[in-house]
Structure 1
Amino acid sequence: MTKKFFKISFNVVVYIFAAIGLFLMAGYFAVKFGLTNEKGIVDTQRDAFLGIHVVPEKQAGPAVPWKESEEWEVLSAALTRDQATLNKAANDSGVPARLIAANLVAEQLRLFFTEREYYKQFFSPLKILGSQTQFSWGVMGMKENTAIKVEAYLKDPSSPFYPGPQYEHLLDFETSDIEGERFTRMTDQHNHYWSYLYAGLYIKEIEAQWRTAGFPIDGNVAILSTLYNIGFTHSNPNPDPQVGGAAITAGDKTFSFGGLAADFYNSDLLTAEFPK
């Protein structure tokens, strides 16, 4: 009886390990042959930038042009209240306020038309901008790693992104807790100056990179906004850059991030507050 029990137990253990081995082997081949691959947001953004067709997810929103939507009314009110703060950041970074605002509009419309519950509960009734605190930070939706690069390029004259000595100390920290101070700066829901300043300096650094490479894009709103959206890593100076970025359904139409930013910039919206 005892021998039979041990024999059965031994067989059970063998079968369990065999099953585990089979599972691990299946997982290995699934990874090896790409069966587990999913298209990430970075790939989608890069494909759009390179001119490859992007099929966006269907998003909620009124079937009217975004410029006539309730979402724009909310965003317009919030932007108008931030006029002085945004203009200060623009002046400090040397980038036109309307260019920073164009990227803000694209990022905020993306939030307003996708994060519907937050929009209904907070953004709309309070007429405020959406400030992110997780994967991307602040009202401009900048990732921490991007912010760190912006800081580093300001102080590196050997970098193609270096915008000039007059900008080197704009992002100096006041405490030894750099990570904490950076997070507080960029996610401050009451003062968006730092979010705007980081965005302006990012654009300034991208302009420097392309100018140094012999392909100046200063003032090219659609391309600069595309590059703001897809990040430093995908900024490759060339003679024929394409407008793209994340696909955003705003109102009755789907735009690329760069296209939506340019659509605002070239419009007559808020031209008194942020001239062209």
Structure 2
Amino acid sequence: MADSTNNDTKPNKRSKLRKVFRISYFTMIHVLAIFALFLIATALAVHFKWTNQSGTTDVNNRYFEELAEEYGQDQDMDSIQLDQHQDAFFQRLGVLAKYKPIDARNIYMAYENSHDVIIGLRMLDAASLMLKENAEYQRDLKELKKFRNGRKKSVYEWSNYKVWDEFCLAVLRDSAAIDSASRISGVESRLIVMCLVGEQVRMFNSGRERFKQYVYPFSRVMLANNRGYGVTSILEHTALKIESNLTNKKSPFYPGDYFAKCLNYNDSFPSLVVDSIEAHKHKTIQRLIQGGDHFYSYLYTGFLLRQYYAQWIRAGYDISNRPEVLGTLFNIGFHKSVPKAKPEAGGSAFNVGGKDYTFGGLCFEFYYSGAMIKEFPITRKAFIPIKELEKKNEKYLETIEKLMAGDSLAVE
């Protein structure tokens, strides 16, 4: 009985194994067949483009094309066009900031990183496209365009005339001399140029009928007539007082021991004396009327500003950040310089292009106008400390000492 039972069990096990194998086999065959059909169907779909979605043209496509052609090729731009684009960029950026300050900031950061105004303008165009339904924004853009077409470039009227650019070129030709005078006197170069601008414009006052008649000489830096000497028109007695203050320790304008060692008092230009005017025989005046780069005009201007600063700082008033006050003092003279808590700006009054100015007021305008700012920057350090000057100009002081001792071979 036992043997018979064991024999019956073995065929049953074999039968089950065959059944499992057969099911697995056919299952695999069907899976492979289905996978093959899927691959065939996919290939056919791709071949006959059954999976392609129908496309459409973006509603803004026309604007995209216009914007792409708006600015042409960058390499085709000249300096004038570049200036115009930069003006437009900042003006439009200001309008966008009124409505979308986050986007305006992002665009400005992109401009700062790339230094490419075309990129900035294209980004502004894209933002404007997003705001095409914003009636107020679009109205402001139209008003801005009218403003650009109908108004002068700068808020400072005196800088909107073509002849101003010519004057700037003349000043830039003297930039090395101005920088030298600034380095020696420790007075910011922009303050020195500020006095030059005020004095040059003042020479052409409201006595002339037409602006061009008295602004034309801007095309060169003029030597003053019947007023003073040098391009900054320093009066004779003022020049002598400047030199006296360099050595007179009892003077309220005494700037410090360093400055007496900065001037070669022996330097003279007798060949410039071609008349019988007694003052022209004085070495001081010869230095001021020297042509070329007008170095001494700028140096004496620096000395004068330094002496006013010394007087006021000694009295407890810091006017280093008051260009209009320094300009006024330069204009009105030593005898009217009275240190006080609330100084008044003003000085000589004159008219340019139909607009009234005071010397101090014009100095203020130029100082903060941004004109020639790259060459003569605002440093926030208008007067360099004396100890720093002594160290910086050590070689120059040695040269002056040799020249004063009669060493004609000394080189600055």
1:114 Cα deviation from its structure 2 partner: 5.8
Distance 1:115 1:169 in 2: 43
After superposition, residues 15-94 of structure 1 pair within 5 angstroms as 65-94=157-186
Checking the alignment, whether the CA contact within 8 Å between 1:74 and 1:123 is kept in structure 2 is no
Residues 116, 186 of structure 1: CA spacing in aligned structure 2 closer, same or farther, 3 A cutoff?
farther
After superposition, residues 197-276 of structure 1 pair within 5 angstroms as 197-276=299-378
1:123 Cα deviation from its structure 2 partner: 8.3
Q: Tell me, what secondary structure is at the counterpart of 1:87?
A: helix
2:245 aligns with: 153
Deviations 1:68-94 (A, max 9, x none): 023422321111111111111111111
| Equivalent residue in structure 2 for 1:135, among 224, 227, 236 | 227
Larger RCO of the pair (alpha carbons < 8 Å, separation 6+): 1
Distance 2:235 2:185 in 1: 19
Residues 111, 71 of structure 1: CA spacing in aligned structure 2 closer, same or farther, 3 A cutoff?
farther
- Percent sequence identity over matched residues? 37
- 1:189 matched to 2:281? The reply is no
2:395 aligns with: none
Distance 1:157 1:136 in 2: 26
Q: TM-score, length-normalised on structure 2?
A: 0.48
Distance 1:191 1:227 in 2: 25
Distance 1:224 1:105 in 2: 13
Distance 2:213 2:350 in 1: 21
Residues 120, 69 of structure 1: CA spacing in aligned structure 2 closer, same or farther, 3 A cutoff?
closer
Q: TM-score, length-normalised on structure 1?
A: 0.70
1:96 aligns with: 188
Distance 1:115 1:89 in 2: 33
> How big is the alpha-carbon RMSD for the aligned residues of Structure 1 and Structure 2?
2.6
What are the ranges of 5 or more consecutive residues in structure 1 without an aligned counterpart?
1-63
Checking the alignment, whether the CA contact within 8 Å between 2:163 and 2:218 is kept in structure 1 is no
Q: Tell me, what secondary structure is at the counterpart of 1:132?
A: coil
Residues 136, 268 of structure 1: CA spacing in aligned structure 2 closer, same or farther, 3 A cutoff?
same
Q: Tell me, what secondary structure is at the counterpart of 2:328?
A: helix
1:133 Cα deviation from its structure 2 partner: 5.0
Letter in 1 for 2:192: I
1:200 Cα deviation from its structure 2 partner: 0.6
Deviations 1:231-258 (A, max 9, x none): 0000001111011000121234211100
1:155 Cα deviation from its structure 2 partner: 0.3
Checking the alignment, whether the CA contact within 8 Å between 1:206 and 1:224 is kept in structure 2 is yes
Residues 248, 233 of structure 1: CA spacing in aligned structure 2 closer, same or farther, 3 A cutoff?
same
Residues 85, 161 of structure 1: CA spacing in aligned structure 2 closer, same or farther, 3 A cutoff?
same
- Compare CA radii of gyration and give the structure with the larger one: 2
Deviations 1:131-189 (A, max 9, x none): 02543111001101000000001101221111111111223421698953212211123
Distance 1:116 1:186 in 2: 27
Distance 1:125 1:231 in 2: 25
Checking the alignment, whether the CA contact within 8 Å between 1:71 and 1:109 is kept in structure 2 is no
Checking the alignment, whether the CA contact within 8 Å between 2:325 and 2:360 is kept in structure 1 is yes
Q: Tell me, what secondary structure is at the counterpart of 1:275?
A: coil
